[in-house]
Amino acid sequence: MYNQMVVHTEIELTDDEVDRIFRALADATRRDILSRTLEDEATVSQLAATYDMSFAAVQKHVAVLEQAGLVTKRTAGRERRVRGEPDTIRRAQRLLTRYEQIWRGRIARLDALLAED
């Protein structure tokens, strides 16, 4: 628990933010929406047209991504435009990199310990 708190603090993500980000990324449709909106802004209607699900279901996916800070929505006339937020992805990547460093350090210490025998 302490290591997680240190890592999150160093990366400036709260436990709730980490939970929301990775819960949002756990779904293939949301990952696809995120990928598409990182490449180019799209309306919810444009996004919904490419999935075999209702417009409301796509709206819910977008809402989960928005709550996680992975996309933002803006109003342009009558349209709601969705844009991916690369900064949130960079923050999550830094968290994963930090976890990787912790595990690599643990493995290196274990290797050194085993080499002593």
First to last CA, the chain: 31
Instruction: Kindly list the domain boundaries of the chain, sorted by start residue.
Output: 2-116
Mark 71-101 as b/e (b = at least 16 C-beta within 10 Å): bebeeeeeeebbebbeebbebbeebeebeee
CA 31 to CA 59: how far, in whole Å? 14
Q: Give the chain's mean pLDDT.
A: 89
What DSSP string runs through 67-89? HTTSEEEEEETTEEEEEE-HHHH
Choices 1.10.10.10, 3.40.50.10860, 1.10.645.10, 1.10.3760.10: CATH for 2-116: 1.10.10.10
CA 68 to CA 65: how far, in whole Å? 5
Q: Tell me if residue 6 falls in helix, strand or coil.
A: helix
Predicted TM-score (pTM) of the model is 0.79
- 84 CB-side CA count, 13 A: 18
Residue 2 has pLDDT above 50, yes or no: no
Could you tell me if 33 and 71 are in contact, meaning their C-beta atoms sit under 8 angstroms apart? yes
Q: Tell me if residue 40 falls in helix, strand or coil.
A: coil
Chain segment 79-113, per-residue pLDDT in tens: 999 999 999 999 999 998 988 888 888 888 888 88
